[in-house]
Amino acid sequence: MARLDAHSLFRFRHFPSTFTTTSTHRYLRLHVTKSDVSSSTQMSDNGAPHTVQVHPSLEVIGGGRDKYLPALKKNLEHPYNPFPLIGSNRHVETIFAAFYRSLPDVKFRRECLRTKDDGAVALDWVAGDHKKLPPLSPILILLPGLTGGSGDTYVRHMLIRARKLGWRVVVFNSRGCGNSPVTTPQFYSASFTGDLTEVIAHVSGRYPEAKLYAVGWSLGANILVRYLGQESHKCTLAGAVSLCNPFNLPIADEDFHKGFNNIYDKALANSLRRIFKKHAALFEDIGGEYNIPMVANAKTVREFDEGLTRVSFGFKSADDYYLHSSSADSIKDVCTPLLCIQAANDPIAPARGIPRKDIEENQNCLLIVTPNGGHLGWVAGNEAPFGAPWTDPCVIDFLQHLDRRLSETSSSHSQLNEAPMCTEGGLVAAEV
């Protein structure tokens, strides 16, 4: 639902609305013992078993652990070391990353996609890649957090890293976000996967021979995981990554109103109000259960959701909306290789909301929980404090592993861009 992206709260740069844009609970710490997560047995190329070591500062679980862990070995065998001072407090880290992380320069070519209900979303492709890259290049679809878009630093860093590997990248700006047009009296929500479904079908239709992957942050991660569970074995994505996913929205909503989190709540509400006021004319005389005055003056995300979001998507109340929009309920149905990365001290996506049991039982899922990181922070690793988050190398190594294995098998099995199989009796893990 809506309280999920602290980063967008702090956006202070203005991005032009032209089609081509240029960018110049209380603290929870997981105590993980070495015996809990220190190693995983995997077969080497010559058939001999070997052990993948995981540093005890990290929690790593999931039914896909043995299958995916070797690809992440170089990132997980070392301790997670947050940057001094900045990484010692979850709020400092969250705010520092939002304000001071560097913004890579990228030129975009914008495509506005008209949806079936006459709405519109904006797809930002890297300018010139449609001429430079071959049609078979793997494609990475990026889903920013609430009110976020292609101008956000965490999105740009992931984009740059993937492009260096020859991947085609497109940012999916939801309705009203990243200066995406709004053409109907409806925005988007944590529960709505319709626009993502159309975006994936559109991208797949444009590049039918390419394998598709997706990465989502915060609210974008919740939507992505819901999509994976909804589509299940029919999903055309070859792999996906979820970052800072709130997973359990009633829990996230509960923590969102505690202590310092009220700052995030007010900032996000301000961002939502600004988007709404740009398109307020669409909601004049709309009637029904909408409470437009509440929306226009919302001081919290809950007020915005109560007045508009839950009505637009047919929920009885904000609580009903949160209860039935949680991606935690979708994990058991995911048949696509999925990497989830969370921070144990995330103030907006509480660690106690992570569906650990379902992740452990799903052979297609792997979960990494870092002891620090805040929300969309992860100011650690070789590029800290101003460069890419600690998570980015893990994400790219995971996606490269999937793409490499699929490329190796596609010629003999003709299964390009197919998802793992599911049976009525349960999940059957993909051989990737």
Q: Which of 137, 174, 191, 218 is catalytic?
A: 218
User: Annotated catalytic, 346?
Assistant: yes
Distance CA 91, CA 97 (A): 10
Residue 259 tokens read as 């202590």
The full 3-state SS of 304-367, as one line of letters, equals: HHHHHHHHHCCCCCHHHHHHCCCHHHHHHHCCCCEEEEEECCCCCCCHHHCCHHHHHHCCCEEE
Q: Which of 124, 375, 392, 403 is catalytic?
A: 375
CB 298 within 8 A of CB 265: no
User: Annotated catalytic, 255?
Assistant: no
At 183 the three-state DSSP class reads: coil
Residue with tokens 């979708």: 330
At 89 the three-state DSSP class reads: coil
Alpha helices in 120-246 (DSSP H): 129-132, 153-163, 194-206, 219-231
Strands 168-173 and 212-217: unpaired
- How would DSSP label each residue in 158-172? HHHHHHTTT-EEEEE
Closest by CA position to 294, among listed 281, 279, 282, 276? 276
User: Annotated catalytic, 202?
Assistant: no
Distance CA 362, CA 68 (A): 13
| H or E segment to which residue 253 belongs | helix 249-256
CB 211 within 8 A of CB 403: yes
Q: Which of 265, 346, 358, 392 is catalytic?
A: 346
Residue 290 tokens read as 């909408």
Distance CA 308, CA 318 (A): 9
CB 54 within 8 A of CB 69: yes
Catalytic site residues? 218, 346, 375
